């Protein structure tokens, strides 16, 4: 089917979030209409469809309910609206009739038969958000994320950290002393002031906060308290970046190094390239330390002074189901110490919560709460600035 040239990128990847789907993609809308009519006239067909949505072919396991994913779709939107002023959040809150629905059939019925445009859209949106949350939960790279993190840490322990010694200085985190990687092959020595790795679904990481007495770590309120920090971050990224398949979220696993200076950044890059299989294993390199050429490849909501060298490295993992190993991606970020500290002291971009608010305001709000359904929301009230208070709990 043909796609209209003016279709927003998010709706191209996620057509069921588009309130104008029947107009912009009529063939897809007709397919859904035919399915709805079949469900209404043939309850057995609905039961078969729902069963094989959750049960693999040939498996005799008990059919699982999708109710949890429909409930999580509502909770995800509740979590997002914590970033909005209370009056705005109250206007955008999921309507009670749609919140009460937790099965495919009544949501499809509401999507096509409700007299309210808002209820029709909210039912359509809930169906699709639940589908994405189900996909994330059943994605192999997400399911194996903690195993991949363990493999990455084991790899560094085997080939990277041996020979490193403590300099006696305290790193940026009181629990991490500065480690010196000795010079090899004519390269400069490297002082690692901080190292961390994280799995996107595992936790909401602590943030570094500068204070007069030094750098401290502070846990902000979790961004996805209702979802138990499960899938909100992955889902938001898929919507913002127009990613239709969670397998293509390549920064599920990330590693961050903060080193002494810019010279050490590139020395560390070369060392990692040598140890992790050579340049062919690395891709999507972004370098904002040497100028503005790569800045457009960063998230557009990143601070203007954000300086980093980052890229994806593909790491081999033994496959318990076969003789051949497979690859998983790790996003490696390397910062020089002073540039990292300058970023933290940039008042406009200091708060990670403010960064998330910008993403919500510019990338998620127009897609998930379209003005054609909800009317004009006073976005100026949501502009990130010094008058904004903390995220509501």
**What pLDDT shows up at residue 302?**
57
| Domain boundaries along the sequence of the chain | 9-138, 141-363
Fold category of 141-363 in CATH: Beta Polymerase; domain 2 (3.30.460)
DSSP string for residues in 146-205: HHHHHHHHHHHHHHTSTT-EEEEEE-SSTTSEEEEEPP-TTPPPEEEEEEEEEETTT---
Q: Please determine, for residue 209, whether its predicted confidence score (pLDDT) is greater than 80.
A: no
Neighbours of 14 (CB within 10 A): 22
Identity of the highest mean pLDDT range in 59-73, 198-212, 353-367: 59-73
For the stretch 231-261, what's the b/e string if a residue is b when 16 or more beta carbons lie within 10 angstroms of its beta carbon? bbbbbbbbbbeebeebeebbbbbbbbbbbbe
Backbone angles phi, psi at 44, to 5 degrees: -65, -35
What's the average model confidence in pLDDT over 217-225? Answer: 48
**Rounded distance, CA 144 to CA 96, Å?**
36
CB 76 within 8 A of CB 235: yes
Q: Name which of 1-5, 45-49, 95-99, 265-269 the model is least confident about.
A: 1-5
What's the average model confidence in pLDDT over 288-300? Answer: 71
**What pLDDT shows up at residue 341?**
80
- Block residue for tokens 């206007």: 91
**What pLDDT shows up at residue 224?**
54
160-164: list long-range contacts, CB under 8 Å, 24+ apart. 160/271, 160/272, 160/275, 164/192
184 pLDDT band, cuts 50/70/90, is confident
Q: Please determine, for residue 105, whether its predicted confidence score (pLDDT) is greater than 60.
A: yes
Higher pLDDT, residue 204 or 148: 148
Q: Please determine, for residue 114, whether its predicted confidence score (pLDDT) is greater than 70.
A: yes
Joined together, the tokens standing for residue 333 give 């970020």
Q: Please determine, for residue 303, whether its predicted confidence score (pLDDT) is greater than 70.
A: no
What's the average model confidence in pLDDT over 210-216? Answer: 46
Identity of the highest mean pLDDT range in 36-45, 115-124, 192-201: 115-124
**What pLDDT shows up at residue 50?**
81
**Rounded distance, CA 132 to CA 22, Å?**
21
**What pLDDT shows up at residue 10?**
85
User: Tell me: the pLDDT tens digits for 6-45?
Assistant: 557 789 899 999 999 988 889 999 998 888 888 888 888 8
């Amino acid at each position: 089917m043909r796609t209209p040239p003016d279709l927003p990128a998010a709706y191209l990847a996620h057509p069921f979030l588009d309130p104008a789907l029947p107009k912009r993609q009529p063939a897809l809308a007709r397919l859904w209409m035919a399915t709805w009519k079949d469900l209404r006239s043939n309850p057995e067909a609905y039961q078969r469809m729902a069963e094989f949505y959750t049960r693999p072919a040939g498996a005799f396991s008990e059919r699982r309910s999708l109710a949890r994913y429909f409930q999580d779709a509502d909770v995800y939107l509740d979590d997002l609206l914590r970033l909005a002023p209370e009056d705005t959040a109250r206007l955008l809150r999921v309507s009670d009739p749609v919140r009460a629905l937790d099965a495919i059939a009544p949501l499809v019925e509401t999507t096509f038969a409700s007299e309210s445009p808002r209820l029709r859209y909210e039912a359509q949106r809930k169906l699709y958000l639940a589908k994405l949350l189900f996909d994330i939960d059943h994605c192999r790279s997400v399911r194996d994320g903690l195993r991949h993190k363990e493999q990455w840490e084991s790899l560094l322990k085997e080939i990277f950290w041996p020979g490193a010694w403590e300099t006696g200085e305290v790193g940026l985190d009181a629990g991490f002393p500065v480690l010196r990687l000795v010079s090899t092959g004519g390269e400069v020595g490297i002082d690692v002031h901080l190292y961390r790795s994280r799995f996107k679904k595992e936790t909401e990481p602590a943030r570094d906060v500068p204070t007069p007495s030094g750098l401290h770590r502070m846990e902000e309120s979790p961004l996805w308290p209702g979802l138990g920090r499960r899938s909100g971050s992955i889902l938001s990224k898929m919507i913002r970046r127009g990613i239709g398949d969670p397998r293509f979220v390549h920064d599920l696993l990330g590693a961050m190094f903060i080193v002494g200076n810019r010279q050490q950044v590139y020395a560390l890059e070369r060392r990692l390239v040598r140890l992790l299989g050579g340049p062919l294993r690395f891709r999507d390199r972004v370098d904002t330390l040497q100028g503005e050429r790569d800045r457009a490849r960063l998230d557009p909501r990143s601070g203007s002074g954000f300086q980093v060298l980052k890229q994806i490295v593909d790491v081999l993992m033994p496959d318990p189901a076969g003789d051949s190993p497979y690859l998983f991606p790790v996003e490696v970020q390397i910062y020089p110490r002073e540039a990292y500290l300058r970023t933290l002291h940039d008042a406009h971009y200091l708060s990670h919560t403010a960064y998330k608010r910008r993403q919500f305001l510019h990338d998620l709000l127009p897609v998930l709460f379209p003005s054609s359904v909800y009317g004009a929301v006073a976005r100026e009230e949501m502009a990130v600035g010094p008058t904004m208070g903390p995220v509501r709990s």
